[in-house]
Chains A and B, each alone.
Chain A
């Protein structure tokens, strides 16, 4: 009997076409899931510690004196501990998925993880105790670790064939992180009196560090990976990508204009940079809108709504920044802008996406191989993503409260907002830990 032409015709639209598959391919390069999960676990612990510290400090005026040791510790607990650790893990996983390239050295990434944890504990403890020698030692340690991370990722990214706007955003994010680290090292050397010239320009260097790390690294990563994650989670196909290109150039222009403005604070440069920031957020919002218009999953899940809420807070930040420029750098407005950017745009995006990424990684770690034993555990069995709406709502409202309370001098609003953020992050940590508890409990069966 001739069996060579037997085809299940209703599965295909062109039955005469010969089989042309190339075998299992594109994402065989993903690193073992334990690598991103470890980084993310450290990030989750730091988010929880940040929530506790924020709740502890909220009545002690920490929101109004961010330059005090308690404020600096709190800020780095969120940025370097929670956000950076989580994002490092996510980048190791997402880059392979988005650009179809392997990580240059998984072994190096594993070694850096332990160095990252040691450096993080030492650096945060040095800040908390305000131990200058410790800040220098562990600051240099953390800089070395993050340079190692940047190098590993940039070498990996350079192997990608498709270098569209998403790639440019992610590649430049790592470049900006390297520059932000250089600014941080300069600051530390200035503070330690090892480089007096740096001390004289402390405020400009600090602004450069914040802009490059916050906007140049976290902001660029969020913009770039949105063009992979939003379509993937909403099953969007065939959408218009022209705004992605515009968003990249507008973002690059805005960031560099802001850095110039921090060194040469004239109204003209400030207005140009404000225009760039507004253009960057609006073109990015248009790019995301194009994706959502062509989505197959009509019901937008809570985590994606969280990403959109974070983007809305980012747009508010951009408009507030324009206000800040035209009001001649009113310090009160600036204090309100930081929570919009850090707690609203960056943290809310990361927390929202964590509701999709962490359960997937936990599922892969626990159940990916158990299909062979007949397991039918789905990712939704590990976590109901709709539960994210309380955390997302709390964080969005909290960030707005802190952000609006500062410029209008409403301390009660700031404190209420901070409490909401702390409580939301506490619930977030509980949700994420429950993912691992459920994964461990299910033992491959529903």
Chain B
């Protein structure tokens, strides 16, 4: 059984290389599920369609999530609906970007 809290902690190590903020604080991770034992499905988005860091972020999320205990397989799915909005960011991320 996968500890999704641990996965979240791991994902806090994945940074958007341009913004210098992690994907959790940016609100890019929409959902995480374990539909079957050991298989982790992550639904995430990007700040903009065609984000140049798209592939890099997906690979980094896959790698970071796979390090969590009990994860045998990671399936990262990129979705555009609902679109990312600044409201999804954590207060810390908003503060860093000067949005508060």
A372 proximity list for chain B (CB < 8 A): 59, 63
B84 proximity list for chain A (CB < 8 A): 237
A11 proximity list for chain B (CB < 8 A): 8, 24, 29-32
* Cross-chain contact B77 with A19 (CB below 8 angstroms): yes
Contacts A6-B33, A12-B30, A380-B20 known; A97 to B63 CB distance under 8 Å?
A: no
Q: How far is the CB of B19 from chain A (nearest CB, A)?
A: 8
- Closest partner residue, chain B, to A234 (CB atom): B97
A residues 24-61 in Cβ contact with B at 8 Å: 24-28, 30
A378 proximity list for chain B (CB < 8 A): 15, 17-18, 20
B81 proximity list for chain A (CB < 8 A): 20
* Cross-chain contact A8 with B31 (CB below 8 angstroms): yes
* Cross-chain contact A371 with B32 (CB below 8 angstroms): no
Determine the distance from Cα of A350 to Cα of B93 in the docked complex, in whole angstroms: 30
B44 proximity list for chain A (CB < 8 A): 21
Contacts A12-B30, A371-B59 known; A232 to B48 CB distance under 8 Å?
A: yes
A376 proximity list for chain B (CB < 8 A): 13, 15
Pick out which of these stretches binds chain B: A123-131, A277-285, A360-368, A421-429.
A360-368
- Closest partner residue, chain A, to B14 (CB atom): A371
How many residues in A have their beta carbons less than 8 Å from beta carbons of B? 53
Q: Does A3 contact B (CB under 8 A)?
A: yes
Determine the distance from Cα of A228 to Cα of B52 in the docked complex, in whole angstroms: 11
Q: How far is the CB of A34 from chain B (nearest CB, A)?
A: 15
* Cross-chain contact B79 with A26 (CB below 8 angstroms): no
Q: Does B78 contact A (CB under 8 A)?
A: yes
B43 proximity list for chain A (CB < 8 A): 12, 19-21
Determine the distance from Cα of A331 to Cα of B41 in the docked complex, in whole angstroms: 67
Contacts A235-B86, A296-B99, A298-B98 known; A368 to B35 CB distance under 8 Å?
A: no
Q: Mark B26-61, 1 if CB is under 8 A from A, else 0.
A: 000111111111000101100111111111101110
- Closest partner residue, chain B, to A297 (CB atom): B97
Q: Does B76 contact A (CB under 8 A)?
A: yes
Contact of B97 among A3, A21, A298, A371 (CB under 8 A): A298
B50 proximity list for chain A (CB < 8 A): 26-27, 96-100, 228
* Cross-chain contact B31 with A12 (CB below 8 angstroms): yes
Q: Which of A26, A238, A377 has the most CB of B within 10 A?
A: A26
Q: How far is the CB of A384 from chain B (nearest CB, A)?
A: 12
Q: Does B72 contact A (CB under 8 A)?
A: no
A360 proximity list for chain B (CB < 8 A): 17-18, 52-53
* Cross-chain contact A24 with B58 (CB below 8 angstroms): yes
- Closest partner residue, chain B, to A14 (CB atom): B82
Q: Mark A331-375, 1 if CB is under 8 A from B, else 0.
A: 000000000000000000000000000001001100111011000
Contacts A237-B86, A360-B52 known; A6 to B4 CB distance under 8 Å?
A: yes
Q: How far is the CB of A441 from chain B (nearest CB, A)?
A: 17
A232 proximity list for chain B (CB < 8 A): 47-48, 51-52
Contacts A19-B33, A30-B52, A378-B20 known; A24 to B98 CB distance under 8 Å?
A: no
Contacts A6-B4, A27-B51, A27-B52 known; A298 to B99 CB distance under 8 Å?
A: yes
Contact of A7 among B5, B33, B53 (CB under 8 A): B33
Determine the distance from Cα of A364 to Cα of B54 in the docked complex, in whole angstroms: 11
* Cross-chain contact B86 with A3 (CB below 8 angstroms): no
B18 proximity list for chain A (CB < 8 A): 233, 360, 378-379
Known: A6-B4, A235-B97. 8 other contacts (CB 8 A): A3-B34, A8-B7, A11-B8, A23-B76, A23-B77, A97-B51, A100-B50, A235-B47
A and B contact pairs by CB, cutoff 8 A, 16 listed: A7-B32, A19-B31, A19-B41, A21-B43, A22-B77, A24-B78, A97-B50, A100-B49, A232-B52, A237-B86, A296-B86, A360-B17, A371-B59, A371-B60, A371-B63, A379-B17
Residues on A lying within 8 angstroms of B by beta carbon are 1, 3-8, 11-13, 15, 17, 19-28, 30, 93, 96-100, 228, 231-233, 235, 237-238, 296-299, 360, 363-364, 367-369, 371-372, 376-380
Residues on B lying within 8 angstroms of A by beta carbon are 1, 4-5, 7-8, 13-15, 17-20, 24, 29-37, 41, 43-44, 47-56, 58-60, 63-64, 75-79, 81-86, 89, 97-99
Pairs of residues from A and B, 10 with the lowest C-beta to C-beta distance, nearest first: A21-B77, A298-B98, A371-B60, A27-B54, A296-B86, A97-B50, A368-B56, A12-B31, A8-B4, A21-B79
